[in-house]
């Protein structure tokens, strides 16, 4: 449980206080709390949909009010093209807002794809309000992070801008801004130049 909560804190520690949750339009139940369940990695959304189907079939909407797979948009650079993909914040985990009792516990625990609740073996432990708030806020961060197949030390060719066709070595990578610092040999010495991901191409 502590490892999972540490992931939540790590993901959310720099987020501002203003939040907007995906469940704002849903009916609120004061006794409902958010719990974490483990699911087969890669099947989180399938499991979430299956849970909601079972909730409706058993008419338990007033006891299990929301199921969430936390995601965030990430910009991926590949073949000098930029695309936005949805990335899971906590692969292998699903969040469920519910009133914990014997009936709801058994419904969730016996759903295909669920391997268990996060917490002690006797009693699942809910997320604290601060952890829930942080997770929801992190999902709403406006600036997507970037991901590219670069590494420090890679040799790259500049494909655009003032230094086009120069070849240099990556000295630093900033995924938040989608930029790299490339060391170029200029005027007899190495000079750092900051470039966008789309301005460089890895040399094979």
Residues 68-123 have pLDDT tens digits of 998 888 877 766 677 888 888 889 999 999 999 999 999 999 999 999 998 766 77
The answer to whether the predicted template modeling score (pTM) of the entire model surpasses 0.75 is no
Same-domain status, 167 and 131: no
Beta-bridged to residue 149, according to DSSP, are none
**Average of per-residue pLDDT values in the chain:** 83
Q: Are residues 62 and 103 in contact, defined by beta-carbon separation less than 8 angstroms?
A: no
H helix count then E strand count, the chain = 4, 12
Same-domain status, 142 and 100: yes
Range of the domain at 54: 2-146
Same-domain status, 94 and 159: no
Same-domain status, 58 and 10: yes
Find the CATH number of the domain harbouring 122. 3.30.70.940
What distances in angstroms separate CA 126 from CA 65, 72, 96, 111, one per listed residue? 15, 22, 10, 19
Q: How many domains does the chain have?
A: 2
DSSP-based helix, strand, coil % in the chain, nearest 5: 25, 35, 40
Same-domain status, 168 and 113: no
20 pLDDT more than 50: no
């Amino acid at each position: 449980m502590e490892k999972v909560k540490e992931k939540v804190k790590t993901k959310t520690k720099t987020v501002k206080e203003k939040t907007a949750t995906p469940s704002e339009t849903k009916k609120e139940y004061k006794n409902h709390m958010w719990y974490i369940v483990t699911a087969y990695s890669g099947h989180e959304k399938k499991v979430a949909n299956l849970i909601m189907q079972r909730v409706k079939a058993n008419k338990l909407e007033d006891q299990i009010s929301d199921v969430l797979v936390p995601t965030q948009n990430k910009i991926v650079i590949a073949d000098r093209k930029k695309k936005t993909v949805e990335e899971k914040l906590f692969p292998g985990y699903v969040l469920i807002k519910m009133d914990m009792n014997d009936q709801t516990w058994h419904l969730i625990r016996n759903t295909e794809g669920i391997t268990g609740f996060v917490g002690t073996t006797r009693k699942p432990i809910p997320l604290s309000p601060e952890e829930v708030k942080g997770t929801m806020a992190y999902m709403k961060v406006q600036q997507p992070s970037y991901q590219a197949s670069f590494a420090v030390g890679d040799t790259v060719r500049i494909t655009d801008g003032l230094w086009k066709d120069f070849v240099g070595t990556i000295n630093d990578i900033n995924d938040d801004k989608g930029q790299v610092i490339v060391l170029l040999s200029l005027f007899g010495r190495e000079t750092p130049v900051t470039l966008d991901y789309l301005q460089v191409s890895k040399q094979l």
